[in-house]
Each structure stands twice: as structure tokens, then as C-alpha cells.
Chains A and B, each alone.
Chain A
Amino acid sequence: MAALSVNVVRKRFPALGAAPEKLVLENVRFAASEGETVAVLGPSGCGKTTLLNLVAGLDPEFEGRIERPPGRLAFVFQEPRLLPWRTVEDNLRFVLAGEADAKARIDAALAEVELPDAGPVYASRLSLGMARRVALARALVVRPSLLLLDEPFVSLDQPTAWRLRLLLLDLLARHAVTTLLVTHEPREAVMLADRILLLTAAPGRPRAELRVPLSPEERRDLARIEAVARRLLPDRPEPLAVEAA
């Protein structure tokens, strides 16, 4: 049985002032089994973030039905969305709501994102790359049954983004959490996802659903990723920039 089942028949944004009503998503239907990572890939503005908001329950206004697995939900937003006036440790504690082994879990989560000493640092002092790691740690520390990732490595320099993707790859393998990743970056989708759902440009409609034929080792090999991305996504919506990581 699917852990996550999404069926968005239609999602519209109502008319606002001079802007007319806008159809954002149509007939987006997919499922993810337990522990599976599904990537939603599409050009900017095709409603990917809207889709995540629907799945997260932040926006109840749509036609269709979404079934989430029981258990906790975790979301890594496009911006880290940390509390700048709290320390890293308190940012993680914030989502743990007084659970007994909070301290141990926080330490473990910070170690997992390779920031074992960041606990007492104010979140306002982190670099963007560090803040994204902390956002990942905050997501994992709740032991989610469903993990939502919204372009988690956007606006990082390429080497940092690549390192963080490798880190995320390990974390996903270790935690076996059902994951929905939204991205406009084909290689990111190929590297991290078991399956890819391609969306059209706005309004987002499903264009294809692809299975990624990569072993865990091959997912660490940029050349393999490039090759598969080029083969699977020949008429990809955005050109692949070729650069060394």
C-alpha cells in the first residue's frame, strides 16, 4: 500500500485584484511507497511549491485528495526558516515539543549533518550552507514518516550543493523515510529519487513518470548522473549546465 497518495484534480489561485484566476495544477496524480523518494521535476513556476504546500496541509483549498502516512511530517523549505533569535539546539528543540530524549536526539541529528558543535550557535550567525544543514537536521530529528523537500539546495554554490546532496543521499538511505522532493534541477532529481514525476510548465500537468535506474554507488558518480539525466530527460525543460563539482 502506498504511504503517500496524491491526487490533485485541480488547484487554482483565485483572482486577486487585477490578476485573473489562475490554474496552477491539474490532474497531478502519484503515489510513493514507504521509504521511497519521489522527485517532482518541472520548470520554475509550474506549481511545485504549491504542490508541496498541499501535501503538507498548509493549503486546504483544492479539488482532489491527498493521503499522508500516519506519523510526523517534516518539511525542508526553500529558505531554511530557522528562528534566528534561537540557538541551533533550541531550533531543533522547538520541533520536539518536550520529548524526553530531546537532547540526545538533537546531538545525534546535528552529528548526522556534520555540525556536531553548532548547538550553542545562534541561527542568525550560520552561513546559508550551514543553515540548510540545520534545516535538514530539524527535519530528521522529528523522525518523520513523510519528508518534504522544496529545492533544498537552491542558491548554494555548486561544490556546496554537491556536498549537501551527497549528505542527503546518505541520510535518505539511513532513515528510509518516504520523501517527496521538488526541484527544477534534473541532476538533483536523478541523483536522489527512485522515481521522477515530470511536470509541464504552468499550469503543472504530469508529462511523464520515470524510474531512475541507478544503484546507490552510481548515485555518487556525477558522470553517471549526467548520463542518465540526459537519457531520461532528453527534452528537459531547462538546459543542464555542465560544471565540475
Chain B
Amino acid sequence: MSATELAAAVAPARPERVRRFEARRLRAPLSVLLLLGLWAGTAWLLAAPRLFPGPASVLEAVVRELVAGELLFHLGWTLLRVAAAFALAMLVGAAIGIAMGRVAVLDDLGRPWLLFFLNLPALVTIVLCYVWIGLVEAAAVIAVAINKIPNVAVTVREGARALDKSLFEMARVFAVPRLAVLEHVVLPQLAPYFLAAARSGLALVWKIVLVVELLGRPNGVGFQIHSAFQLFDVATVLAYALAFMGVVQLVEWLGFQPLQRRLERWRR
């Protein structure tokens, strides 16, 4: 008898509540299966494999691109751009947000600018960056970052406004050095806001990166989707899209969720 079997044998019957909780956990996978079923069923009904491929054809396209080495190559380029634009947007946006949250003059001066950039369509930023900077990597990354910076700034500004004044007083009385105050007082309070900005940021950034690639890059998921679009190759379009969605979900599971658990350990 293994250890787990032994534990299961010794353990008392689990209360109803626990069992119901476990049943709830099955709902999400069931929902995914339902979606796949609907998709397959619709594809079968429409019987137009080129314009509306089923899950099997898309999986086939994924495997084909993977074996050809194309998928990882273009995925890699897109990931690099996402990472660069994301880092730039978080850094600049956080700095702007903290400054505006802490200094009233900067908040008043910055608000109209923020409003302007929040309402500026991503497509306009991309076109202008390509025109002004050129069809280069820097233009692509900057264009994406500019789209995301205002969102990060707004979120982090809320956090900077909500900083607990009484803890700063405490630190001042005890003559704690500024760097330690930043590390132990400011950053822990801003962490949830950073995390919220990062999560919504990643979701937005990767979508804009595809547009940037479509408009002016010779590689990446956006470029591949564009090429497939010109051939009306819907299976390849979906193959690249789903592959990248999977990568983003992995970042959520392996990056953000463990990070959040770590940051919130003290609350439990």
C-alpha cells in the first residue's frame, strides 16, 4: 500500500462541501471541451474546411509549422518584441504613475497628456512611429510601449496615491534610509498595482505587437498571420493565434500566479 493510499484509507470521509468544491473544479475543463465541441460541430456543418477549419485541421497546421521550424522562429520574434515593449512600458509607466501619484503639480499637468495618449488609437501610434523612426525594430517596440504606458501610469498612480502616510512618518522618526523605505514601505504597497498593470499590460501588448508586425516587420506571429491571410489560409491563422495564446497563458500560470502568491503570502 503506497503512502497516498494509506492516507486515503485512514482519512475520514470528506465532508460534502469539499466534494462539491472538487466538482466545481471540473467546470472549467468541461467548458473548454464544450467550446471545442461547438467548434468541431460548426466546422462539420459548414463543411468548408478552407474557410472554417475544425480543431483537427488547426492542430495539423500547428504541427506542420512546428516541424518546419517556422512556428518557433516567429513565436520567438514576437515574444522578444512583447518582452521589450512590455518592459519599457512598465518601467516608464510606473515612473510616470509614481510621480503623478506623489506630486500634485505633476498630476495636474500630466492628466491631459494621459487622456490624450489613452485615447490615441494604437494604429495611429504605430503608423506615426514607422513614419518618423523608420521601419525598424525600435519603432515597433516604441509604438507598442507608447500604447501601454498610459494604462500602466494610471494604475500605478492609484497605488502611489494610496500609500500609507503613517508608515512614512514612522520611518522618518526612526531615521530609516530612503532606499530601505523604498524597499520595505513603498514597493510592497505598490506591488498589487504593478501586478494588475503587468497582467492587463501583457494582454494588451501582445495584441498590439501582432498589428505592428503585420504593418512593418518581416517576421513574427503578426507577419505570419498576414501572409496566411493573403492566401486565405485560415487554419494557419488560427494555428499561430492559438499557439501564442497558449504562450501567454503559460506566462500567467508560471509567472504571474506564483508571483502573486509570493507577494500575498503575508495576507494569509
Contacts and interface: CB of A to CB of B under 8 A. Distances in A.
Nearest to A94: B184
Interface stretch (A75-83, A177-185, A229-237): A75-83
Given A83-B167, A97-B175, A97-B176, 19 more contacts: A58-B169, A73-B175, A74-B173, A75-B174, A77-B170, A81-B166, A81-B169, A83-B188, A84-B266, A86-B188, A86-B266, A90-B184, A95-B174, A95-B176, A97-B177, A97-B180, A123-B266, A138-B174, A148-B173
B188 A85 contact: yes
Nearest to A58: B169
A221 to B, nearest CB: 34
B interface residue count range (under 10 / 10 to 19 / 20 to 34 / 35 or more): 10 to 19
Ranked 7 nearest A-B pairs via Cβ: A95-B174, A85-B188, A122-B266, A75-B173, A85-B266, A81-B170, A124-B266
A123 B184 CA distance: 13
7 contacts: A56-B173, A72-B174, A84-B266, A85-B266, A94-B171, A94-B174, A124-B266
Given A84-B266, A85-B266, A122-B266, A77 B166 contact: yes
Nearest to A123: B266
B230 to A, nearest CB: 53
B174 A83 contact: no
B267 A124 contact: yes
B104 to A, nearest CB: 16
Which of B184, B185, B265 has the most chain A CB atoms inside 10 A of its CB? B184
Contacts of B171: 94
Interface in B245-268: 265-267
A72 B176 CA distance: 11
B259 to A, nearest CB: 14
Contacts of B265: 122
A95 B171 CA distance: 7
A190 interface: no
Nearest to B167: A81
A142 interface: yes
B266 A72 contact: no
B176 A83 contact: no
Given A79-B166, A97-B180, A58 B172 contact: yes
Interface string A117-147: 0000011100000000000001000100000
Nearest to B172: A58
Interface of A: 56-58, 72-75, 77, 79, 81, 83-86, 90, 94-95, 97, 122-124, 138, 142, 148
A58 B184 contact: no
A86 B175 contact: no
A122 B266 CA distance: 6
A177 to B, nearest CB: 15
A74 B173 CA distance: 7
Contacts of A138: 174
B173 A86 contact: no
Contacts of B180: 94, 97
Contacts of B170: 75, 77, 81
A132 to B, nearest CB: 14
Nearest to B188: A85
A147 to B, nearest CB: 11
Contacts of B172: 58
Contacts of B169: 58, 77, 81
Contacts of B266: 84-86, 122-124
A75 B173 CA distance: 7
Interface in B213-268: 265-267
B186 to A, nearest CB: 11
A123 B265 CA distance: 12
A72 B173 CA distance: 9
Nearest to A75: B173
A84 B233 CA distance: 55
Contact of B185 (A72, A83, A97, A122): A83
Contacts of A90: 184
A90 B180 CA distance: 11
A138 B170 CA distance: 11
Contacts of A85: 188, 266
Nearest to A79: B166
Nearest to B179: A97
Contacts of B184: 83, 86, 90, 94
A75 B177 CA distance: 17
Contacts of A56: 173
A58 B175 CA distance: 11
Interface string B34-73: 0000000000000000000000000000000000000000
